[in-house]
Amino acid sequence: MKKKAFAALLALLLLVPSVGLAAFPYVRTSCYPVYLACVAAGCDPQKTDMFLMPQGGYMEEYVLSEPDLLRSQEADIVALLGGGLESFLNYLAQEGMKPMIVAGADVERIEGRILDPDEDTQPADNPYVWLSPARWGEVVHGVSAALCQLDPTNEGVYTAALGVALEGVGRVQTAMDEQLGFFTGRQVVVMHPALAYLALDAGLDVVLTVERDPGQQPYAGDEEALLELLAPYPDAVVLVEDTAPQMLLSLSGYDVAALDVLLTGPLSGDRTAWEDAMTHNIEVLADVLGGAGGQ
């Protein structure tokens, strides 16, 4: 049902006429992964940036501010991921002031967390899909298809960029298979929901996802409480953000892989930034898994 609703919303948004510009359009994105997808899909890096402030907590709890809204309306096109990542998506769509791309509306998602324990009885979808190579390819493809419709003048550029981006996805998938295939079924604990996608695509067994407190950095509790949570999984490797507190990076008694979840980064216009980060993540994860527990 959610996928059908997002698909309908995407179809509605793309009924907006093309921006009709001879030059590349000015694109403003909701967050860093969407920025990377737009640049990879062929947007002009000099005319692509973000309208939201970087977040340390859960992205889906971000409250749109008046300055955010104003920044979004200074662009020719607004780009979001969808799938529950931006809670304000429907609000922006109702405003209808700018053409909007919802890049990942139809991407398959895994089960996430209960957003509001006082009101929700079922977990929401996990919207942090971009560390999955196959899903990332779908996101970039979604951006490319929308750009071709909204800006047909530059369709050839977007089509060529998509081909290059998908070649990068293929290289990452090959590296994942070659370097992590030996560790299929190994138990891991993930400290950020984005890392669940990376682990599952690598064939690892995600035995626990440790949630963070709303608006907080990864795991705001103390080490003793965390070790109690991990006690049933003594052989698991712990996957954390590489920007996590030192307590997590050097967790007593566990092998820890510090990985880039691509929530923030430089707006450098680097079209290979996703591939470079994923290649590094795979190398780090292979090294930690290879040394864990005497493997």
> Given this model, what pLDDT does residue 218 score?
54
> Given this model, what pLDDT does residue 150 score?
95
Query: 93 to each of 21, 58, 96, 116, 150, how far by Cα in Å?
Result: 22, 22, 5, 24, 16
> Given this model, what pLDDT does residue 98 score?
81
* Identity of residue 63: V
> Given this model, what pLDDT does residue 61 score?
72
> Given this model, what pLDDT does residue 92 score?
81
- pLDDT per residue as tens digits for the range 133-143: 999 999 999 99
> Given this model, what pLDDT does residue 1 score?
45
CB atoms within 10 A of CB 173: 18
Q: Over the chain (295 residues), what is each successive 10-residue block's mean pLDDT?
A: 44 42 84 96 95 69 84 91 87 78 90 56 79 97 96 96 98 98 96 94 94 56 85 95 89 95 92 97 97 63
Provide the CATH topology of domain 182-294. Answer: Rossmann fold (3.40.50)
> Given this model, what pLDDT does residue 70 score?
87
Provide the CATH topology of domain 2-173. Answer: Rossmann fold (3.40.50)
Residue ranges per structural domain of the chain: 2-173, 182-294
> Given this model, what pLDDT does residue 96 score?
64
197 in Cβ contact with 137 (< 8 Å): no
> Given this model, what pLDDT does residue 111 score?
83
Q: Which two tokens stand for residue 62?
A: 């971000």
> Given this model, what pLDDT does residue 219 score?
60
Question: Same CATH fold, 182-294 and 2-173?
Answer: yes
**What's this model's pTM, rounded to 2 decimal places?**
0.87
> Given this model, what pLDDT does residue 44 score?
96
